[in-house]
Structure 1
Amino acid sequence: MSDPVILWLRQDLRLHDQPALVAAAHEGPVIPVYILDDAAPGDWAIGGAQRWWLHHTLDAFGAALKEKGSRLILRRGDAIRELHKLCEETGASRIHALRHYEPWWRKAEDALGDRLCLHDGNHLTPVEEVTTGSGGLFKIYSSFWKALATRMPPDTPLPIPRSIPVPAKWPKSDTLARWSLLPTKPDWSGGFDVWTPGEDAARKTAKAFADRVAAYDTDRNLPSIDGSSRLSPHLHMGEISPRDAWALVGGGKAALTFHKELAWRDFTHGVIIDRPDYADANGREKFDKLKWRRSPKDLEAWQQGRTGYPIVDAGMRQLWTTGWMHNRVRMIAASFLIKHLLIDWREGERWFWDCLVDADFGNNAVNWQWVAGTGVDSNMWGRIMAPLVQSEKFDAAGYIREWVPELAKLPDTVIHDPETAGCRLDAYPKPLIGHREARERALEAGRAAR
């Protein structure tokens, strides 16, 4: 029997379209391993919501491997050290893995040297191959999409290997229970029952979305209906590849908007290749001079969905309850924190990182800087979303009734803006600040920074 090979898994917990698995299975007996390394990311170790998801997806992936006659080895600690230890314990000389672009994983991949064989498979096409005429990475999404589109559709997804060779002896493994990834007291995950982590659920979600993708361009902006794909946490954890999602959802004009959002994910990973500090530093240095407000009270009100702006509060409560927020409402809530409350975008970015089941390092950073206007490709600082107007424009009445029950009995003519309508409820807070006052304060802060 040939020497075993290590399959190092991170955010790629799937059997379909898994180039690293295919290559490893072709080479020899495969030892699949997931290493929980909380130290390597530094301040960006995964948050509570993602830890909940990780527990369940590791459980599902372990069961899928078991059905194939294999198993999942779990280790905790420094990923580089644990991989070297596994090679020594098993006699493996090669490690196969999918390429990742988070700065800590790029550092780990470099440190493993020639022992590591990297494969592309977590993106529509290798991000580093989509370049400008001068050979650099794109800083503007629209230009990136034009270049990427010439390479689409993506390659055909790979099938699951017919068999996964197993080693004569398995190394020791941790147990999921010992990792304590699930919340205990208090257990805040009761509303997470809307999710089913794992590859099977990811593929079912993609197939179901295919039936309504034609309406996606319009419906995705309406919080009160189920118009989102719901694929974001599955894509983030790598339970489904972007190529497979493209294939299952379908091509053509009907799916164009969805394809562009898959491409946005690729684009944001290109940004963090170029700017590894993008989650912590303004993309435009001039905003380093902007004077943010420090208001723990206002920040807490925003986090708890007690701002007095119904659409913002509905979104923040949905986030806390389910680990997810409607995309249109994410923009509104983020804009409110930054422009209305004048609180540093990094405070919101950190909160989303801890609360979102789909919190992706590149996406989270680029999206927050896009809303803030501080990024390399973003709105201007002076674009300040009017939450009350947005709420009515995108027909959020039903959404507000679901997530802000104090307002559930109000008619559509009042529910978006109870304060202006003269409807004051003891159970619902007054707005933290008026829209016009907030807008002027934000514009003045921007002028002062320039």
Structure 2
Amino acid sequence: MGKYFGTDGFRGEANEVLTVEHAFKVGRFLGWYYGQDHKARVVIGKDTRRSSYMFEYALVAGLTASGANAYLLHVTTTPSVSYVTRTENFDCGIMISASHNPFYDNGIKVINGKGHKLEAEVEAEIEKYIDGELGELPFAKKEAIGCTVDYAAGRNRYIGYLISLATRSFENMRVGLDCSNGSAFSIAKSVYDALGAKTYAIHCEPNGTNINAECGSTHIEKLQTCVRENKLDVGFAYDGDADRCIAVDENGNVVDGDLILYVCGKYLKENNRLNQDTIVTTVMSNLGLYKACDRAGLRYEKTAVGDKYVYENMVQNKYSLGGEQSGHIIFSKHATTGDGILTSLMMMEVMLEKKQSLSKLTEEVKIYPQLLKNIRVEDKKKTRENPAVEAAVEKVAAALGDDGRILVRESGTEPVVRIMVEASSDELCEQYVNQVAEVIQEQGLAV
């Protein structure tokens, strides 16, 4: 990770960590970098945070000042920016979002012309420019100054693309959608309505400060209640920028990214559509997933946490399906990044084609109890490498043996260290997580 850019772009509290000056400079650099031999074209999307408009205008000012034309998708999802960038020959795309973070955070995620996350070496050059190490870049003058273009049509084409992926009508299906008061509110219900579903959409009233607030994929309880009370067939929850999806079965039980990978992976394998019969997971995936995969003849790879690393592995090995427990799921035939709405459509395909409920499709996976605790710290690397912390982790690992595991890692998007324990009971998970957390506190590393 760089000084400013983490695993998911440049992210932090608006005007505290990520400022309008930063956004202006990012725009200035990208407009210059991509416009050295032609008129650069950059497409921009944003989520519903109050600060997203501020950053949009700052980015546009920087881009046009460097001579690039900025195409505005307005409020839209991260995967839609990726789709439009790669299918409509843009030099790059920018998504303004802090994903699942609270409203006062925001982020700038840059997507290259192929729809992938921007190369680390280019991010490093942006950081040098922000810090004044590259000197000043030339300003465009006269007719070379860029312009802005209203490009809502690009978002509409993405909606049409999603609708085209459905294999059959959703008629008579009762579907709940939690749009997290975020980007999905302007897209998801339109897609499901067009496909004939009886759609129950909640948290579709963004006001700038309620994105992810007790709703969406990180707060699944409201969707569980909606599914149970309305006797729905299934529910899907998205995060703020809709690149994640967590499902709820007809009984109100949570179906996370691990279970989604299993359901879709097994289905694709049965239909000879899963390349090398392999799914790509991260080190956070549950032991229960791997045991179920072994029984089903599904192979699996493990990467570092982050859909960026999942996708890199998929591209390198030409795999069809990969993702994270958090709900970032990538279907390489259809997308180059996690796409929550696309993921929910693929789950609908499995349910309809196999004529089975979601609870039936997931019953073969017995998930191990798992507890994840975030500890806010001053220095993530220093905390993880502290000798006392390392000793505490080793002690827990030895106690768990083959009946569980512990994982301590640095967050790529927040100033926290994440402690995750899987064990045979919730009580053991809590005991071992707290054991390590207490050492971090005792060492004076927590804030």
TM-score when scaled to structure 2?
Answer: 0.27
TM-score when scaled to structure 1?
Answer: 0.26
More strand by share: 2
More helix by share: 1
Larger radius of gyration: 1
